[in-house]
Amino acid sequence: MNSNQAKKEMVKQQYSELAMNSDLLKSGCCCGTNPTTPSKKVFTIMSEDYSQLKGYEADADLGVGCGLPTEYAGIKEGDTVIDLGSGAGNDCFIARAEAGESGRVIGIDFSTQMVEKAHKNAAKRGYTNVEFMEGDIEEMPVPDNTADVVVSNCVLNLLPEKDKIFKEIYRVLKKGSHFCISDVVLNGIFPKEFTDNASMYAGCIASAIQKEDYLKEIEKANFTNIKVERTKTVVIPDEVLEEHLDEATIAKYKAGNVGIYSITVTGVK
């Protein structure tokens, strides 16, 4: 297993554990404590409030997003929408509310446990135009030119080969269609001890890349009209840093001119 495969397996394991333990936790953690230990305080560092959005389902919200991609996605009645890293189905259900009964929503996730949880959430509500697939978003199990819109929320930054993902997004979109992704990016050079830390990686901070490089990957995939719709600064609480890093690394991190941001970006095929 190469290093990229090992990283993906680590992330898959953590999010599978989150799915299995979510009924205990009820508020997950994208960048914080181990989801298998509900006795610890859980930090939803980047989580957004979805509760006022049409289609919101509380039991499908694990608190692991970093934005509201559907807010900027321009989903229209009858659209086919693909959600990458669909988790328990929250963004899919909100997308369904926008696409209507004539639309179609496809959620893709590489965690068997997450897909099972999403299926149960959809079945409980009798949704017939929302489907969930287990699959790798670097090789999506859908044909070319399928989607009118692709959305994703705090997922691409978890995976090491972003160039593959953006090429896949381009492939599955219809010509003239677009994506809207909320994701985590970095600015500045972080201490190597920070970015090499396995638990921080799975927690979706150290896996993020520089904002400039992230946008270049989108350009290299041949998207046009690329626009950063929203930027939000991410602040990691000291308690989370102390759980994952030693004092020297924390001091280096705080002394550096660095930033962690949640961005929502759009692009057109």
Residue 241 CB: number of other CB atoms within 10 A?
Answer: 18
pLDDT interval class at 57 (50, 70, 90): low
Average pLDDT, the chain: 81
Asked whether the predicted pLDDT for residue 26 surpasses 50, the reply is no
Residue reference for tokens 């039991």: 59
List the structure tokens of 31: 């960048």
**What does the angle CA 43 – CA 47 – CA 117 come to, to the nearest 5 degrees?**
90
Q: What average pLDDT does range 26-42 have in this prediction?
A: 39
pLDDT in tens, 191-234: 777 766 656 555 556 578 899 999 999 999 999 999 999 998 88
Buried b (16+ CB within 10 A) or exposed e, 163-189: ebbbebbbbbbeeebbbbbbbbbbeee
Question: Which of the residue ranges 7-21, 60-74, 144-158, 243-257 would you say has the lowest mean pLDDT?
Answer: 7-21
- Of 20, 25, 31, 10, nearest in space to 234 by CA: 31
pLDDT score, position 246:
86
| Residue 249 scores a pLDDT above 80 | yes
Note the pLDDT tens digit of each residue in 3-21.
666 666 666 566 555 545 5
Distance of CA 146 to the CA centre of its chain: 21
pLDDT given at position 19: 47
User: What pLDDT is stored for residue 35 in this prediction?
Assistant: 40
Supply the pLDDT for residue 31: 47
Residue 54 has pLDDT above 90, yes or no: no
SS (H, E, C) 112-159: HHHHHHHHHHHHHCCCCCEEEEECECCECCCCCCCEEEEEEECCHHHC
Q: Is the dihedral of CA 235, 26, 86, 112 positive or negative?
A: positive
Q: What is the number of domains present in the chain?
A: 1
Give residue 45's pLDDT: 47
| Angle ∠(22,150,99) on CA atoms, nearest 5 | 85
Residue 233 has a pLDDT of: 87
Domain that holds residue 222: 3-268
- Residues of the chain with pLDDT > 90, as a percent, come to 46
Return the pLDDT at 25. 43
pLDDT mean over 91-116: 94
User: CB 123: neighbour CB atoms within 10 A?
Assistant: 11
Give the span between the Cα atoms of 96 and 104, in whole angstroms: 7
Q: What is the mean pLDDT of residues 130-153?
A: 96
The predicted model scores a pTM of 0.83
* Sheet hosting strand 104-109, strand order edge to edge: 130-134, 104-109, 80-84, 147-153, 173-187, 259-268, 224-233
How far apart are alpha carbons 172 and 157 in whole angstroms? 20
Compute the distance between CA of residue 205 and CA of residue 258 in angstroms, rounded to an integer. Answer: 13
- The pLDDT of residue 267: 98
**246: CATH:** 3.40.50.150
User: For residue 55, what pLDDT is reported?
Assistant: 56
Sign of CA dihedral 1, 182, 123, 147: negative
Q: Which contiguous run of DSSP H or E holds residue 17?
A: helix 3-25
